[in-house]
Amino acid sequence: MRILLAAVAVLSLAACTTEEQAKQSRPSTHQAAENLPYQPVRFAMPPGSTIDRNNTVAVGDSVQWFGTLALTSSLDIDGTSEYYNRELAAQGWEPLSSLIADRVILQFVNRQKQRACIVTIESGNMWSGTHVEIVVAPLVSRANIASR
């Protein structure tokens, strides 16, 4: 009988320890939220990009937002420029103009979503990657301007 009681006690202790270990290994909802990458808005971002919280200001919801999205891309300036030209065109953005100098400035319009954006890409240094700022604003038609 003593052996049976000892076995039950050991199994109970092992079950408690296993349950406690499982609780510790499972992140809480708060911990899981902290591990998610910060992404206040939905917009094309090169793989490996990180959002610059200090220079990102957006109003609206995460889909229909306006403002500035600032980020650092691990791609070089040419790769980042190619990424935005390709990805934004695939998402319905029409290129309007591009300026290539010591930085790249790309302008797009999305008539379906009634939005315009300017993507500014600057070379960083070997430690900081490429700096990107995307300004998104409502598209204002000439008819709206003329009626004012």
In this predicted model, what pLDDT tens digit does every residue of 60-90 receive, in sequence order?
888 888 999 999 999 999 999 999 999 999 9
Q: Which region, left, alpha or beta, applies to residue 111 given φ > 0 means left and ψ of -120 to 50 means alpha?
A: alpha
pLDDT computed for residue 88 by the predictor:
97
Question: Could you tell me whether strands 103-110 and 50-51 are parallel, antiparallel, or unpaired per DSSP bridges?
Answer: unpaired
* In the predicted structure, residue 37 carries a pLDDT above the cut 60: no
Q: 109 and 93 in contact (C-beta within 8 Å)?
A: yes
* In the predicted structure, residue 20 carries a pLDDT above the cut 50: no
Rounded to 5 degrees, φ, ψ at 13 are: -65, -40
Q: Rounding to the nearest 10 degrees, give the CA dihedral for residues 44, 47, 53, 56.
A: -20
Q: Which residues contact 50 (CB under 8 A, 6 or more apart)?
A: 37, 71, 72
Query: E strands, 38-144, where?
Result: 50-51, 57-60, 65-73, 94-100, 103-110, 115-122, 130-138
Q: What is the overall mean pLDDT for the chain? A: 78
pTM strictly above 0.75: no
Of 134, 92, 98, nearest in space to 111 by CA: 92
For domain 37-146, the question of CATH label 3.30.310 is answered with: yes
